[in-house]
Amino acid sequence: DTIYILGGHSLENNIRPPNLYRLKIDLPLGSPAVSCTVLPGGISVSSALVTQTGDKEFVIVGGYQYDNQKRLVCNTVTLEDNNIKIIERETPDWTPDIKHCKIWFGSDMSNGSILLGIPGDNRQLISDANYFYILRCGGEKEDKEEAAQICSQTSTEDPGDSTPFEDSEEFCFSAEANRFDDDDIDTYNEDDEEDESETGYWITCSANCDIDIN
């Protein structure tokens, strides 16, 4: 019944104020009641990632302090008795590639792990690759962070044709193993079509495809 909003990026003033808001939703008989409280102790950050390391403990990783300055420090967030506490924790031993790159991106992998990616143009050998790392944040049973490179992915596109990630652009991906049942198989629906000039074009998916691409 409680949502915390932390940090943010003001496009009008190009600043990242240390905001911390608490939205609380009460469900009495009748209409819901929503209250917003401004709390002290926020941090200046945007586009950060959050992973849960315990029942009431979370870790904030990544993000930006300024347009071209990454936020390399991490914070532990503890929620208890309707109170939130944010403290700075020991900085991970970032690799030189992560330290010197201008942009990074990633997603929470749950269980205290975060996937981090950096563009390959930070290395001189392969300029059209993305390098990925897993950051394991110590939780209740672990007390240290470890950043390990797990793989690299080479792109066949011209780097000049690719749009770099900006600090205000985020992405996340997740899927539950039992989310898709046999009854939920998607079927073609003509009403779902959009203007192909804006969204792309149709291609036949197999030799016996019976969809009219015209």
- Whether 151 has a binding-site annotation, put simply, is no
DSSP letter for 55, please.
S
DSSP alpha helices (H): ranges in the chain? 96-100, 196-199
Three-state DSSP class for residue 38: strand
The set of residues, in sequence order, having a beta carbon less than 8 Å from that of 159 and lying 6+ positions away, is 121, 127, 128
Tell me the DSSP string of 176-192.
-TTS--GGG-----GGG
Burial class of residue 121, CB neighbours in 10 A (0-12, 13-18, 19+): middle
Q: How many angstroms separate the CA atoms of 116 and 206, rounded? A: 36
The set of residues, in sequence order, having a beta carbon less than 8 Å from that of 204 and lying 6+ positions away, is 211, 213
Phi-psi region at 122: left, alpha or beta (left = phi > 0; alpha = psi -120 to 50)? alpha
Residues tagged in the binding site annotation for Zn(2+): 205, 209
